[in-house]
Amino acid sequence: VVDEARAVRNIERMQHKAQRAGALLRPHFKTHNSHAVGRLFRDRGVRHITVSSVEMAEYFSRDGWDDITVAFPVNLRAVECLRELAARCSLGLLVDSVQLVERLVAQRVAGARLWIDVDTGYGRTGIPVADAGAIRDVGEAVAAAPGLELAGLLTHAGQTYDASGRREIAAIWSAALDGLTARAGELAAAGFGEVGVSVGDTPGCSLVDDLTGPSEIRPGAFVFNDLQQLRLGSCTADDLAFVVACPVVAAYPERSEVVVQGGAVHLSKDSVLDAGGDPFYGAVMDVADGWSLVDPNDARVVSLSQEHGVIRGRAQALQGIEAGDLVHIVPAHACLAANSLQPAPTTTRSDS
Amino acid sequence: VVDEARAVRNIERMQHKAQRAGALLRPHFKTHNSHAVGRLFRDRGVRHITVSSVEMAEYFSRDGWDDITVAFPVNLRAVECLRELAARCSLGLLVDSVQLVERLVAQRVAGARLWIDVDTGYGRTGIPVADAGAIRDVGEAVAAAPGLELAGLLTHAGQTYDASGRREIAAIWSAALDGLTARAGELAAAGFGEVGVSVGDTPGCSLVDDLTGPSEIRPGAFVFNDLQQLRLGSCTADDLAFVVACPVVAAYPERSEVVVQGGAVHLSKDSVLDAGGDPFYGAVMDVADGWSLVDPNDARVVSLSQEHGVIRGRAQALQGIEAGDLVHIVPAHACLAANSLQPAPTTTRSDS
């Protein structure tokens, strides 16, 4: 269930930040993976999006989106789909080696904008930002590639998710941006024309006040937020816009537990840690009168099986809940929870 | 990708064990959630199945299965679906309170067999096995319910998954079976007629030599097996029958890492622990010449994002792997991985 008013507020807040910074907002749609939620963005003027797979690009293309960056290293086994997508929309792709550019050319992928994937410390994909030579080599390969265009340099500084607070997240943001800007400046000076700089993860984009610097930002999770963002301070409890409505199938007052159909296949096994270092998988949103988060110390999802979720809590927090009721759960990680739901989230409501 | 010959061997082995023990094999189909894999069972004479949700019951009903137990506490929000299912197949449901039985009657759910869900130490759902009075109360409520029939007592001793080896798993199996059998005997003596005893988790059913005792067993994971089963000793590497074929999108020989499109949404965040206590999410199956598991010490999935999987390994194990290749990953938990795949696994092959 999406609280439409909250999601819209989250979208508009990020739009204003991007506008103030003179950056294009290219939101990452992997968070919701939903036509309905995508339209909330489109209704507010967003035209450029990010996705994380070719399948997701096709899904949003079917709903009329025509400027899409696949922020995931090119899957060479899907070149046929990429050729089709490039023919009907402005398609951005990620490359991090000369060889990959050459293989795209050999496979006749044309009409795409190529972003050079740069690793600014997350250590997952991309060319290390210090390796100016390798970045320039890929830039030259793109410039020489018929039908392909260099869009710029792109990074995902996902290490913000392991940071301990606003100051550390801001430091990661600045370091990533500085590194990318330096490399982009070198390329521009070497005659590569306009070289974009694309950054963005929700913690950085939410917690850094002034986003001036990059040409575009690509946060995703901010539209819904979740317990991970709440823990990082990227949002308040009032910004939580997505819950999973789970049927209660058993109540055990003597154990202070309630069991719901809401398991690993619905919420995912991603977790946040409580003060004692124990993982939990979700918290309870009271939706009786507007949305109000129940303190996770009073009730939280303490274990998940494939279909079962076990909520443990103080007697008062679980009082009166019985089989047949619905409990609304805020997941630890909204992207994985929303992705697991079939069909994609479409129900929207506006309560707060 | 399913290795059909291995899956069939796993099925036939469990069938023989059930036959020797005089127990009905009612396999849990949540593991594969696939019509194609279900037919491997049907082709070998299996007619009775277990599922873990109403949706899954409907899915298999559409492929002609007509004797289905939903081994999950009744979802009262799905009574309309339950009524329809009960009308067209032999439907087993789980109850653990008098109130729930009364609500099923009030909602006119008729024609179902009711299993009393008994907790034999897992602590998730069900009436504690020591509470003979509560079990009998539910039995009496079922006996008094028009159109509903008492099937017997059912347990899932999932604590076997936390056990340290064959001896401990066998002890859990015996204790659960003894408890259930005692309660069933009391009900039978009190005139409840034939009271079934349904048990079964893959570790117990795989590691206990003689399964004599229950009227039926409900293991699921044995058809595929996975790293969790391998770690428990419930299977050998040659019994691993399911892998996720993941496109390689980047190779970083200098980091001894390969990145695949095979992330949390494909493999799930379930993990097993290595000797040092660190979690990992998958191992590599070499499929070049029959299926051969690469030692997880030489290559394993060390981290997962939504779409990314990072495989780290010894240089030799990853040598020659490059973008565009496929890597076949054995998941930590096959049930969650298979469930996440859309469409359901249908490709079968027979290599070993």
Does residue A253 sit at the B interface (CB-CB below 8 Å)?
no
What is the tens place of the pLDDT at every residue in A226-256?
Answer: 999 999 999 999 999 999 999 999 999 999 9
B261/A72 Cα distance (integer angstroms): 9
What is the tens place of the pLDDT at every residue in B293-346?
Answer: 999 999 999 999 999 999 999 988 999 999 999 999 999 999 999 887 755 555
Average pLDDT value over all residues in chain A: 94
* Structural contact between residues A94 and A150, judged by C-beta atoms closer than 8 angstroms: no
**Which residues does residue B140 pair with via DSSP β-bridges, in sequence order?**
none
Does residue B106 sit at the A interface (CB-CB below 8 Å)?
no
What is each CA distance from B120 to B37, B179, B180, B183, B214, in whole angstroms?
A: 30, 7, 8, 12, 14
Q: Which chain A residues contact residue B264 at CB under 8 A? A: 268, 270, 336
Q: Which chain B residues contact residue A103 at CB under 8 A? A: 323-324
Window A:149-168, CB contacts with B under 8 Å: 158
Does residue A323 sit at the B interface (CB-CB below 8 Å)?
yes
pLDDT of amino acid B352: 37
Does residue A250 sit at the B interface (CB-CB below 8 Å)?
yes
pLDDT of amino acid B347: 44
Does residue A256 sit at the B interface (CB-CB below 8 Å)?
no
A206/A13 Cα distance (integer angstroms): 9
What is the tens place of the pLDDT at every residue in A293-308?
Answer: 999 999 999 999 999 9
**Which residues does residue B117 pair with via DSSP β-bridges, in sequence order?**
B154
What is the tens place of the pLDDT at every residue in B136-192?
Answer: 999 999 999 999 999 999 999 999 999 988 999 999 999 999 999 999 999 999 999
Rounded to two decimals, the ipTM of the complex is: 0.93
Secondary element (H or E) of residue B116: strand B112-119
A318/A298 Cα distance (integer angstroms): 9
- Measured in whole angstroms, the distance separating CA B34 from the mean position of its chain's CA atoms is 13
Return the C-alpha torsion angle B53, B55, B61, B67, nearest 10: 20
Interchain CB distance below 8 Å, B125 and A259: yes
What is the tens place of the pLDDT at every residue in A96-122?
Answer: 999 999 999 999 999 999 999 999 999
Does residue A340 sit at the B interface (CB-CB below 8 Å)?
yes
pLDDT reading at A342 higher than 70: no
Q: In sequence order, what are the residues at sequence separation of 6 or more whose Cβ sits closer than 8 angstroms to the Cβ of residue B180?
A: B118, B120, B129, B153, B155, B197, B199, B214
pLDDT reading at A292 higher than 80: yes
Q: What is the percent of chain A with per-residue pLDDT over 70, rounded to a whole number?
A: 97
> Of A30, A261, A323, which has the smallest distance from its Cβ to B306's Cβ?
A30
Distance from CA of B20 to the nearest CA of A (A): 30
What is the tens place of the pLDDT at every residue in A84-97?
Answer: 999 999 999 999 99
- Amino acid in position A154: L
Name the pLDDT band for A351 (thresholds 50, 70, 90). very low
Name the pLDDT band for B83 (thresholds 50, 70, 90). very high
pLDDT reading at B350 higher than 50: no
Does residue A270 sit at the B interface (CB-CB below 8 Å)?
yes
Distance from CA of B268 to the nearest CA of A (A): 7
What are the backbone angles phi and psi of residue A6, rounded to the nearest 5°? -65, -45
What is each CA distance from A66 to A63, A71, A83, A94, in whole angstroms?
A: 9, 15, 14, 17
What is the tens place of the pLDDT at every residue in A121-136?
Answer: 999 999 999 999 999 9
pLDDT of amino acid B275: 86
Q: Which chain A residues contact residue B125 at CB under 8 A? A: 249-250, 259, 308
pLDDT reading at A212 higher than 80: yes
Q: What is the percent of chain A with per-residue pLDDT over 90, rounded to a whole number?
A: 92
pLDDT reading at A345 higher than 90: no
What are the backbone angles phi and psi of residue B175, rounded to the nearest 5°? -65, -45
pLDDT of amino acid A331: 97
> Of B73, B269, B307, which has the smallest distance from its Cβ to A249's Cβ?
B73
Average pLDDT value over all residues in chain B: 94
Interchain CB distance below 8 Å, A261 and B75: yes
- Amino acid in position B203: P
Interchain CB distance below 8 Å, A125 and B75: no
Distance from CA of B291 to the nearest CA of A (A): 22
Question: What's the token pair of residue A190?
Answer: 């070497």
Does residue B30 sit at the A interface (CB-CB below 8 Å)?
yes
Distance from CA of B309 to the nearest CA of A (A): 9
- Measured in whole angstroms, the distance separating CA A99 from the mean position of its chain's CA atoms is 28
Q: Which chain B residues contact residue A52 at CB under 8 A? A: 306-307
Does residue A81 sit at the B interface (CB-CB below 8 Å)?
no
B258/B248 Cα distance (integer angstroms): 7
A38/A47 Cα distance (integer angstroms): 10
pLDDT reading at B234 higher than 70: yes
> Of A125, A247, A339, which has the smallest distance from its Cβ to B75's Cβ?
A247
pLDDT of amino acid A343: 54
Top-confidence residue, A274 or B49 = B49
What is the tens place of the pLDDT at every residue in A28-71?
Answer: 999 999 999 999 999 999 999 999 999 999 999 999 999 999 99
Of the residues A269, A305, A326, A340, the best mutation for testing chain B's interface (the one with the most B CB atoms within 10 Å of its CB) is A305
What is the tens place of the pLDDT at every residue in B245-290?
Answer: 999 999 999 999 999 999 999 999 999 999 899 999 999 999 999 9
